[in-house]
Chain A
Amino acid sequence: MKKFINDPADVVAQSLAGLAAAHPELRVDTEEQYIVRADAPRAGKVGLVSGGGSGHEPLHGGFVGPGMLDAAVPGEVFTSPVPDQILAATKAVDGGAGVVHVVKNYTGDVMNFQLAAELAADEGISVETVLVDDDVAVEDSTWTAGRRGTGATLLVEKIAGARAEEGGKLAEVAAIGREVNAASGSFAYALTSGTTPAAGRPGFELPADEIEAGVGIHGEPGRRREKLRPAKELVRSALDAILDAKTFTGPVLLLVNGLGGTPLIELYLIYGEASAYLEERGVAIARQLVGNYVTSLDMAGMSLTLCQATDEMIRLWDAPVRTPGLRWGA
């Protein structure tokens, strides 16, 4: 393992300290381990809290700021945060109008956020939970853990964040978040595994000509192993999987997301292929975003996310946002 770290055990804490130093507009509680807008809590504003394991940066800490999250709770690398942490962040952003938890559908995240929401309710804070489960590579079924939350998390956080910023009520902010999730689908390919600092070795090994199809964002193997093919074909397969799973007639939001180890030169190439294929399939793109946003440490790979967008979603997508990881109009 070659990484710019001091000690594998201190990576999350030291990275948070660095984030705090680089962004004085954020407040980082290094004791309880959460990141919050410096002006929190804002009276009368619905608070938006998200979190999950570390290693997905800029998600979630990089999305704290006006127009998006009020707080983020990072756990250890790829490990969900604990209830105490989530509760502390929830209290820190509660301005009396309630708090929305954006939770990716992983057993650990779901359980820890659920326990935190119960503790918050005991303290008189109303919490609504928006569960993100957009990954179409996983079969959905009530008998399993269901689909994972991946790229659509960014869309949910941006759009629900904008709704909260303009004064939306608790139920409204949660409703638009759920609507975005329901309208979204994602699919990912990995060229390499990521390496967690604690493990010190890649989660899986791939021969030079093979890739993992249908991976999540935690370095876990995907649904199946395939031969590497030209980007054009991989993009088509990924989009076919998404278009088969849910109905997309357009206009859509399209996120071309790198998993941490794939350079922008490839991501733009992928965007070109994706936009051409969507045009062929008669799906118009309303807005697009290209970059490394929902990552899996240093995994080389990419995910595509489509969201069937309403006018309201597009309006909220365009609303000003000012965070370390996403910034426009403000």
Chain B
Amino acid sequence: MDVTLAREWMRAAAGAIAADADLLTRLDAAIGDGDHGVNLNRGFTAVVAALEKTPPETVADVLIKAGTTLMSRVGGASGPIYGSALRAAGKALPPAAEVQPADLVAALHAGLEAVRKLGGAAPGDKTMVDAYGPAADAFEQAVAGGADLAGAAGAAARAAAAGAEATVPLQARKGRASYLGERSIGHQDPGATSTALIFQALADVS
């Protein structure tokens, strides 16, 4: 992945979130407070603007800048969570204009670790961890099996989408949806859904 591709990834993610903002908001209205699409759309629009204003020269800096922007623009739970994930992923990368799939494996796991540390969510708690975890694992396995970036990103996107769908029967134990108790069962988690969109954006540009 080179710096141009990293920027395209963020732009594609912004496009996907804008296109599906209404879906994310509807999912969040069912088990949360109905602001997830609006929040992320505001944040990713700001990410695209920030990356255009002063284009970073390394993949790491693209992710760090995107993370910092999300953290200072989104609010809610998803702002700090996506913000710290992208920042931790960026910080785990070598400071180079181009990084290898193996570097990205480490970066994805660093991002996931940051999410777990900040939010304390475990797999099965019905959060974005349920999409992010399987995606990071699938990416790693694909790379270990010799896949290139496109192959690994495709596997990650499929795993994230399946993980998001698998949140439907779960009872939420973290975030706003946990207040509903058993009533959270039967709905797809909005954060896991947006995570799947972001991995699909990576697959699309790779």
Q: Which residues of A contact B (CB under 8 A)?
A: 53, 75-84, 106-108, 111-112, 115, 137-139, 143-145, 148, 196, 198-199, 203-204, 216, 218-221, 223-224
* Pairwise interchain contact B183-A145, C-beta atoms closer than 8 A: no
Q: Which of B173, B176, B181 contacts A223 (CB 8 A)?
A: B181
A143 CB → nearest B CB, Å: 6
What would 17 more interface pairs be, CB under 8 Å, given A145-B176, A224-B183?
A: A76-B35, A76-B38, A76-B39, A77-B35, A80-B77, A106-B77, A111-B80, A111-B119, A138-B179, A139-B181, A196-B34, A198-B35, A199-B25, A203-B29, A216-B179, A218-B176, A223-B179
Q: Which of B29, B38, B39, B174 contacts A107 (CB 8 A)?
A: B174
Point out the residues of chain A lying under 8 angstroms from B31, CB to CB. 220
Which of B31, B35, B74, B178 lies at the interface centre, i.e. has the most chain A CB atoms within 10 A of its CB? B35
CB contact under 8 A between A82 and B39, given known A139-B181, A219-B34, A220-B179: no
Q: How far is the CA of A21 from the CA of B140 in the complex (A)?
A: 56
* Pairwise interchain contact A220-B32, C-beta atoms closer than 8 A: yes
Which of B31, B34, B73 lies at the interface centre, i.e. has the most chain A CB atoms within 10 A of its CB? B34
* Pairwise interchain contact A199-B77, C-beta atoms closer than 8 A: no
CB contact under 8 A between A82 and B33, given known A143-B173, A198-B38: no
B35 CB → nearest A CB, Å: 5
Q: Which of B38, B75, B183 contacts A108 (CB 8 A)?
A: B75
* Pairwise interchain contact A145-B75, C-beta atoms closer than 8 A: no
B76 within 8 A of A: yes
A284 CB → nearest B CB, Å: 32
CB contact under 8 A between A145 and B179, given known A78-B33, A115-B80, A203-B29: yes
B83 CB → nearest A CB, Å: 9
B204 CB → nearest A CB, Å: 27
**Can you list 5 A-B contacts with CB-CB less than 8 angstroms, sorted by A residue number?**
A78-B35, A79-B39, A83-B71, A144-B174, A218-B176
Q: Which 10 A-B pairs have the closest CB atoms?
A: A218-B33, A111-B80, A108-B76, A108-B77, A107-B77, A79-B75, A144-B178, A145-B178, A79-B76, A75-B75
A9 CB → nearest B CB, Å: 9
* Pairwise interchain contact B72-A220, C-beta atoms closer than 8 A: no
* Pairwise interchain contact A115-B71, C-beta atoms closer than 8 A: yes
* Pairwise interchain contact B174-A145, C-beta atoms closer than 8 A: yes
Q: How far is the CA of A143 from the CA of B126 in the complex (A)?
A: 13
Point out the residues of chain B lying under 8 angstroms from A77, CB to CB. 35
Q: Which of A108, A143, A144, A148 contacts B79 (CB 8 A)?
A: A108
B144 within 8 A of A: no
* Pairwise interchain contact A223-B75, C-beta atoms closer than 8 A: no
Task: Tell me the B31-76 residues at the A interface (CB within 8 Å).
Answer: 31-35, 38-39, 42, 71-76
Q: How far is the CA of A199 from the CA of B33 in the complex (A)?
A: 10
Which of A79, A107, A144, A220 lies at the interface centre, i.e. has the most chain B CB atoms within 10 A of its CB? A107
